[in-house]
Structure 1
Amino acid sequence: MLYAEQIETVLQRNEWTKVNQKLLAKMISEYMYEDMIKPELIESKEWSSYKLRITDQKFYKYKAKARYFDSYQVDETSITVREGYEERRATSAIEFLLDIQPQIGMSSETAGHLVKELNHTLLADAHMLKEASTPSDQLISQDYAQLEGEMAGHPWITYNKGRIGFGYDDYLQYAPEQQKPVRLLWIAVHRKLASFQSVQDLTFEDLVYEELSPDERERLYHKLEIYDAALEDYFIMPVHEWQWKNVIIQQYSEDLANRLIIPLETGDDEYLPQQSIRTFVNQDHPLKKHVKVPMSILNTLVYRGLPAERTLIAPQITEFIKGIYEADSFLSKECRVILPGEVASINVPQKHYEQLKNAPYQYLEMLGVIWRESIYGYLEDGEQAITLAALLHEDIEGKPYVQSLIDKSGLPVEEWVDQLFKVIMEPLLHFLYQYGTVFSPHGQNTIVVLKDYKPHRLAVKDFVDDVNISDQPFEELDQLTSEIKSVLRSEPPEGLTQFIFTGLFICHLRYLARLLDDHTLMDEKDFWHALAKSIHNYQDKFPHLKERFKVFDFFKEEFTKLCLNRNRMVDYGYEDGDDRPHASEYGKVKNVLSLWKK
């Protein structure tokens, strides 16, 4: 199939230029922030002029606005490239990448793979530019699962839709922005090969009865009978069609031959993929659990598998987090924070890779499933859930989604933002200060529950991947088993603080501050002052924790700068290591919140 119709519709010169210019501006902005490129300041003003020398004969010129946290915002329409005597608009993100390769010390191997990821990203951006149609004023009434399909991807990582492993047919079928429902395949896995874990009082049989209709169960069980397999010897579980065709059949052939894995049939329910690609929300029965399954594609630094050790322990971590919530009246009665738990999981190792010392981590994450409670089961009348990432969205006309929310709420911008910070910060800070436990509250894991278009409550998900604990001797952590401690990352004070500082402030709020400032909704400095006030307001409520406020200090003058693009481009490359890459540390970042230190 040539896909000629899609190519003709999406890949047009003007649109290709637009997505390149936008990505190029993002690349320059983020590479300046991460200190990978060091342009010369030509003229200093609100929008300063910069020159980046490539060779004696070639350089880029552009205008950029300095932002807080040592950040920059590049004007995408201002970027030109001069080569010899010719000056032209810069319209190729990949040309720029190849130009800076020697300067930043990127290997040819890394550059080659990165060109591939950037091409995939640009193609997806071209699709989104051509297909975007819903105005922000309408999107604010969009359902949580559908809204996810409108998002443009990670705001910081420049190759944010690389999706190495997907063909173009896979992109059209499975990418979240395509908003195409999928039905999951069901297989049976022998119990001597797989392990099932769950929270207390949830058996495997209970789970199957909740997730599958009587007709589905009958059909699946009948398939087992055809193979002369005893039902009590197997777990049944969902897998994604892409993973089944591209990974499971090939890598688990021996288990298929020995009938330790048996293909059954496709389930009836339709699911929508979320931004993580591997998490799915049930569209036919929204109260059924969200399903997280491996998809062994490389996207935003990591393969999208399910790490075995975390899959095995997911329900225990859910019980730990919910135990804190249930015993703490501030979290459960005042904040009423929502914690959709990962209540059950199945892990199926591939025995040959499991026996291999230091096996590439991608081969240890190929087959498993995590069932997470549905966000819809927690919503009350009049409540609407959105991911924090939605607040960065702009429609095709440039109107921010957040502006439409604020307009509809009837609140002044400052009051709406104050309410947002109260809703988000108080439960996050309480988990950190009182319990030495922190979430990684980036745009996908953090859910804002709105009521009357105003921030009302916070929901946080994905405990198993993004909960971390303090290495300090806090009595609140004494209850943790050695098994949980061996899986959860234990961090020193700044490292733990970084999950909120970088995960929320740098990875999300600095873009929201820029967006509000660009649209003259709220001055950038006033935005950060409001955030500082929200932290002080929390601290004033809990003076008995004042020593811990010093341990986890959000007001110190600078933090270690964590870098996401540098990690792939310079430090880690595309090495097939035995552990997932973590953010690179490089230099320091000035903290604007220090202006309001008490």
Structure 2
Amino acid sequence: MYFSSFSTTLEHTGKVTIRLLQPTDMSIICTWLKQPYAHFWGMNTQTEQQMCNAYQDIISNTHHHAYVIEQNNELLALVELYDPAQDSLMTAAYKAQKHDVGMHILLSPNTSPKRHFSFEMMQCVLQSIFANNAAARVVVEPDIANNKIHTLNKRLGFVHTQHIQLGKKQAYLGFCEKAAFDRHTQLFAQMLIPLNTDYVKHSHWQWANRHLQSKALTELVHERLLIAEQINQTWQVNVEGGYFTFSGRAMALNHIDIDEPSLCFYNSSDEQKPLDVLRFFSMQGPLLGLTGERLATYLEELNATLASACFKRENNTTSAEQLAQQGLQQIESAMSEGHPAFIANNGRIGFSKSDFLRYAPEVGKHFKVIWLAAHKSVCTFAHSKYFADYESHINGELDLTTRDHFSAALKNKNLNLDDYLLMPAHPWQWQNKLSVVFANELASERLVYLGQGDDLYQAQQSIRTLYNSSHPHKPYLKVALSILNMGFMRGLSRAYMAVTPLINDWVFDKVSQDTQLKATNFVALREYATLGYAHHTFEQSALGDTAYRKMFACLWRENPNHNLNSDEQLTTMAALLHLDNNGQSMVGAWLDQSGLSTNNWLQAYFNVYLIPLVHCFYAHKLVFMPHGENLILKLKNSVPVGAYMKDIGEEVALLNSDEQLPESVKRIHITMPKEHELLSIFTDVFDCFFRYLVAILVREKRITEHEFWQCVSQSVKAYQHATPALNERFKEYDFFSDEFAHSCLNRLQLGNNKQMVDLADPAGSLQFAGSLNNPVASSLYG
């Protein structure tokens, strides 16, 4: 457990050494112990001789050691390490484990403040302990009133779990293991790294502008809002004020894979002009149905999308090969593209530049959420039957010291924590919406501001969803964020939250009890706890279902980390479409690392993604929103072996089903024309994901387009052949029909970029542009 000395170099303090306390050190230590800030040590009334005697006893004790941290012969801190199993007060308070190491630390007087001094002294002690014993669990028992040390402990990875009584001392009991310490010190270091905020550079803008213009042409031609003609190996698209020319490959699903460097624009006088996607939409907008405020809003979204692309170009420079070997959160923050089908996909209207740099997923910055107390008369907690109640849930989310702090804050207002529910909010939402729009709730103390929590979060590509970076075993948190992005104000409905856990339980039961889905390792990540706040001012029926009803709600979603083996890796499925700054793909990197042929790798991928979705439709009439950001893939040796489906409560639907549902779950019943039901695969999977994936693979010469779709066809046919019980359903819904209706996403956004879909009737909101030839039609592959 103990050691004689340890040296380390700290970021701000420099090289320090921790060594055993010597009697010659005591004259200095005694002056520290008499300082007012040292009163928690309980020795400031003792004489110097009594102090020396006490530490001589420690020096002589085989189960209790005293150290000092020094630098250039200057003492910086006093440290005690002891065996809790040999301490009578501690053994009365808790059951010590084999590798437990008790710790106390006292810093030198703050005569000349040093940056991050207290953090780095604690860091030094913990480094020394774990260097000597990586299996150690460090134990602390800080005085219950010592708020500064509580905060410092939590910053280094300690979790305080209970109150204990040590003689006259009321204390918290806290623990820290090496993994938590390493993670927290890494987070602390990352927080100090300055961002390059000068990213909107001319070269980046030119690249982003060319890329977005290419994408705009691809998608507008795809949705038949523009027409591409091939003239002598060159494509031409006529537009208002001129025409574009480019080289490209015509592919299935009315897709043109444009060679971006070849793209040129000529005005009506045949003069080549610089590409300018903003000018293009300004000119073309009225012909696309964009005028007035909708056009201005769309141009703002395009500008923000371009600026985001510039940031990625400047800062996200990791190669696809390197990124393919990293963890889920590194991959999440490095993605080069938002939703692949939407042109303006990073609008985030409401964010300033500083908001973008704090909260945008591509920035990857960590931040703390705000906690408020919501009175039970206006706030509802709902939870899954498989998970614990509110008290157990919130105890897992907040450190004991934080819960006590929040309780004391309410008590200071003559309020009782038992009358409230503790509820997190995005810091942007608090600053820009809740503190203003909920002012009357704050004044009446139905809502009480408590302050920041302890844990650091990282925004996911789905910007409202937050990953707990401090404690990766904890659930994801999804919060309301009232910014306009991709056709929606990104709030969360209180009404939806009330039934979300029940819907998730129903879906989980359906999926987990299906042997076919179990065999493919397809898992529905449950949203198992929710909170929703009813702001009475905006709950009046006369106001309707406005965004004001969706400003304060949250949910917690399962985290797949606990199901991960050491040889497995998680990735957002969106990574399959990611290209690095050199145009190299991550899917190509995984293919190379796997050692499999492209065909065999795709078969594995289809078996964990496509086939479960196909089965859910045919067996249960159950459909999801399976785009790249909504799905996490599990890889083993770079090969897909499982999939986790997200966003169950808001996105799942049961199509034209006569299945009897509990009253609380009936919201997922959706009625739509029968011929549109398979669009849940044809549009959401084929058109909105595979269309881009096959283009990448063909561009890299890893497979032909024919081979890709043949592989899709063979996978589905193999599934159908192995599932004869559903033959009648297979005949009723022909997966291999010649064509299907062409549902268009950009037409939705162009038509109403503030709410592109009526959530009460999503099927009725669909916009169609004729039909698309089915790339797996039986006429093609028999």
TM-score (norm 1): 0.93
- Describe the shift of the 1:357–1:66 C-alpha distance in structure 2 as closer, same or farther (beyond 3 A): farther
Per-residue deviation at 1:591?
1.1
Per-residue deviation at 1:343?
0.4
Return the alpha-carbon distance in structure 1 between the equivalents of residues 512 and 775 of structure 2: 35
Of residues 5, 18, 25, the one that matches 2:207 is 18
**Residue in structure 2 matched with residue 71 of structure 1 by the alignment:** 255
Determine if the alignment matches structure 1 residue 545 to structure 2 residue 726: yes
Residues 501 and 527, structure 2, Cα contact 8 Å, conserved in 1: yes
- Describe the shift of the 1:137–1:64 C-alpha distance in structure 2 as closer, same or farther (beyond 3 A): closer
State the identity %. Answer: 30
Per-residue deviation at 1:359?
3.1
Per-residue deviation at 1:356?
4.0
Identify which range, 282-291 or 323-332, moves more after superposition: 323-332
Any idea what the Cα deviations from partners look like across 1:393-436, whole Å, max 9, x if unmatched?
A: 11112211111111111111111111111111222222211111
Return the alpha-carbon distance in structure 1 between the equivalents of residues 673 and 268 of structure 2: 52
Of residues 496, 500, 512, the one that matches 1:326 is 512
- Describe the shift of the 1:488–1:358 C-alpha distance in structure 2 as closer, same or farther (beyond 3 A): farther
- Describe the shift of the 1:483–1:34 C-alpha distance in structure 2 as closer, same or farther (beyond 3 A): same
**Residue in structure 2 matched with residue 214 of structure 1 by the alignment:** 400
Per-residue deviation at 1:482?
3.0
Per-residue deviation at 1:322?
1.4
- Describe the shift of the 1:372–1:221 C-alpha distance in structure 2 as closer, same or farther (beyond 3 A): same
Larger Rg: 2
1:306 partner SS: coil
Determine if the alignment matches structure 1 residue 291 to structure 2 residue 472: no
Determine if the alignment matches structure 1 residue 59 to structure 2 residue 248: no
Return the alpha-carbon distance in structure 2 between the equivalents of residues 116 and 521 of structure 1: 38
Any idea what the Cα deviations from partners look like across 1:152-187, whole Å, max 9, x if unmatched?
A: 211110101100010111011110011101111111
- Describe the shift of the 1:53–1:491 C-alpha distance in structure 2 as closer, same or farther (beyond 3 A): closer
Q: Output aligned runs, 1:177-576, within 5 Å.
A: 177-200=362-385, 201-332=387-518, 334-357=519-542, 359=544, 361-473=546-658, 477-478=659-660, 480-569=661-750, 571-574=751-754
Return the alpha-carbon distance in structure 1 between the equivalents of residues 407 and 697 of structure 2: 55
**Residue in structure 2 matched with residue 29 of structure 1 by the alignment:** 218
- Describe the shift of the 1:433–1:575 C-alpha distance in structure 2 as closer, same or farther (beyond 3 A): closer
Residues 19 and 126, structure 1, Cα contact 8 Å, conserved in 2: yes
**Residue in structure 2 matched with residue 92 of structure 1 by the alignment:** 276
Residues 226 and 237, structure 2, Cα contact 8 Å, conserved in 1: no
Return the alpha-carbon distance in structure 1 between the equivalents of residues 442 and 502 of structure 2: 31
Return the alpha-carbon distance in structure 2 between the equivalents of residues 196 and 238 of structure 1: 13
Superposition RMSD in Å? 2.0
| Partner amino acid, structure 2, of 1:321 | V
Determine if the alignment matches structure 1 residue 38 to structure 2 residue 223: no
2:529 partner SS: strand
- Describe the shift of the 1:67–1:89 C-alpha distance in structure 2 as closer, same or farther (beyond 3 A): farther
| Partner amino acid, structure 2, of 1:584 | Q
Per-residue deviation at 1:114?
0.7
Per-residue deviation at 1:86?
5.6
Any idea what the Cα deviations from partners look like across 1:444-465, whole Å, max 9, x if unmatched?
A: 1122110111111111111012
1:10 partner SS: coil
Per-residue deviation at 1:281?
0.7
| Partner amino acid, structure 2, of 1:508 | F
Of residues 324, 327, 332, the one that matches 1:140 is 324
Residues 521 and 608, structure 2, Cα contact 8 Å, conserved in 1: no
Any idea what the Cα deviations from partners look like across 1:36-78, whole Å, max 9, x if unmatched?
A: 1124x25154xx42140424xx333333321101111223223
Residues 218 and 258, structure 2, Cα contact 8 Å, conserved in 1: yes
1:196 partner SS: strand
Identify which range, 98-107 or 120-129, moves more after superposition: 98-107
Any idea what the Cα deviations from partners look like across 1:362-385, whole Å, max 9, x if unmatched?
A: 222110110001111222342211
**Residue in structure 1 matched with residue 100 of structure 2 by the alignment:** none
Per-residue deviation at 1:440?
1.4
- Describe the shift of the 1:314–1:59 C-alpha distance in structure 2 as closer, same or farther (beyond 3 A): same
| Partner amino acid, structure 2, of 1:70 | N
Residues 528 and 593, structure 1, Cα contact 8 Å, conserved in 2: yes
Per-residue deviation at 1:497?
1.8
Identify which range, 206-215 or 286-295, moves more after superposition: 206-215
Return the alpha-carbon distance in structure 2 between the equivalents of residues 82 and 384 of structure 1: 47
Any idea what the Cα deviations from partners look like across 1:448-501, whole Å, max 9, x if unmatched?
A: 11011111111111101211102133xxx22x1233123553444443321222
Return the alpha-carbon distance in structure 2 between the equivalents of residues 309 and 529 of structure 1: 44
Identify which range, 82-91 or 501-510, moves more after superposition: 82-91
| Partner amino acid, structure 2, of 1:450 | L
1:269 partner SS: coil
- Describe the shift of the 1:148–1:519 C-alpha distance in structure 2 as closer, same or farther (beyond 3 A): same
Where does the alignment leave 5 or more consecutive residues of structure 2 unmatched?
1-194
1:235 partner SS: strand
Return the alpha-carbon distance in structure 2 between the equivalents of residues 284 and 576 of structure 1: 36
- Describe the shift of the 1:124–1:539 C-alpha distance in structure 2 as closer, same or farther (beyond 3 A): same
- Describe the shift of the 1:340–1:493 C-alpha distance in structure 2 as closer, same or farther (beyond 3 A): same
Residues 477 and 556, structure 2, Cα contact 8 Å, conserved in 1: yes
Return the alpha-carbon distance in structure 2 between the equivalents of residues 138 and 515 of structure 1: 18
Residues 80 and 88, structure 1, Cα contact 8 Å, conserved in 2: yes
TM-score (norm 2): 0.72
Return the alpha-carbon distance in structure 2 between the equivalents of residues 327 and 85 of structure 1: 66
Return the alpha-carbon distance in structure 1 between the equivalents of residues 404 and 447 of structure 2: 19
Per-residue deviation at 1:130?
1.2
Per-residue deviation at 1:339?
2.0
Any idea what the Cα deviations from partners look like across 1:247-266, whole Å, max 9, x if unmatched?
A: 11111111100000001121
Of residues 771, 774, 778, the one that matches 1:588 is 771
